[in-house]
Structure 1
Amino acid sequence: MALSEFEIKRIEKAGTVFLSEHRPPPEIRSKLDIGWRLENQSVYIFETRPIWNEPSQYHDLDIAKATFVLKHGVWKIYWMKRDLKWHSYEPKSQVKTIEQVFKVVTEDQYGCFFG
């Protein structure tokens, strides 16, 4: 089941607030930036950097993922480990709201998202 329009608007608002508080200064965004995207039931937070051997091209590196589980009414939070697989984020693997997802990523208690 897809997210409702209301839920999508809530995600967009929370994502906008997150970016307004956490994006790097404009003068370095060509070298490092962050963003988020919504795919189906999941929100991805990613870094954007130039490709090292082709600086005019950029690539996105996913650093956090939150998937909404409608049956339980929770967002499950994951981080990308060096094996390039998603792992449940401990100490807080699930939360009730998208705002809490962005808060957990911001706090990054164990340095999993932003190292």
Structure 2
Amino acid sequence: MALNDIEVAQIKRCMNFFMEKRRPAPFIRDEIDLMYEIQDQSVIINEVRNVMGRTIESSIAKITFNRTQKGWKLFAKNRNDEWEGMFNDLIPTFSDAIKIVEDDDIGIFFG
């Protein structure tokens, strides 16, 4: 089941703060930028690069809501470009999950 309107509004609010902090400066956004999309019960964060006139999108993180267990699961891409869960336990709130991505203490999401 997809996220409801209240959940989507809360996610957008968190993502607006995240994007303010993490997006590149406006003068370079035509070369590299961040964007996100909400798909069903997931939020996917992508890096967008303009390389030799082509737009290349690379997924950085995916945060998926588990409605039955009432928590969020954080995923990152592994070297085979497959989503891999970051923690065994669910993260209680979306804002907690996006904070982990934002801080990126071990350089998994932003290098």
Q: TM-score range by the shorter chain?
A: over 0.9
Q: Which runs of 5+ in 1 are unaligned?
A: none
Q: Percent identity?
A: 32
**What TM-score results when the alignment is normalised by the length of structure 1?**
0.89
Residue aligned with 2:12, SS = helix
C-alpha distance after superposition, 1:31-82 (max 9, x if no partner): 111111100000001100013xxx3331211010011000011100000112
Mapped to 1, the partners of 2:36 and 2:94 lie a distance apart of 12
Report runs of 4+ in structure 1 exceeding 3 Å deviation: none
Mapped to 1, the partners of 2:89 and 2:46 lie a distance apart of 18
Mapped to 2, the partners of 1:81 and 1:93 lie a distance apart of 19
Q: Which runs of 5+ in 2 are unaligned?
A: none
> Number of aligned pairs?
111
Residue aligned with 1:13, SS = helix
Let me know the Cα RMSD of the aligned residues. 1.4
Alpha-carbon distance change, 58 to 33 in structure 1, aligned in 2, over 3 angstroms: same
| Residue 109 (structure 1) shift | 2.0
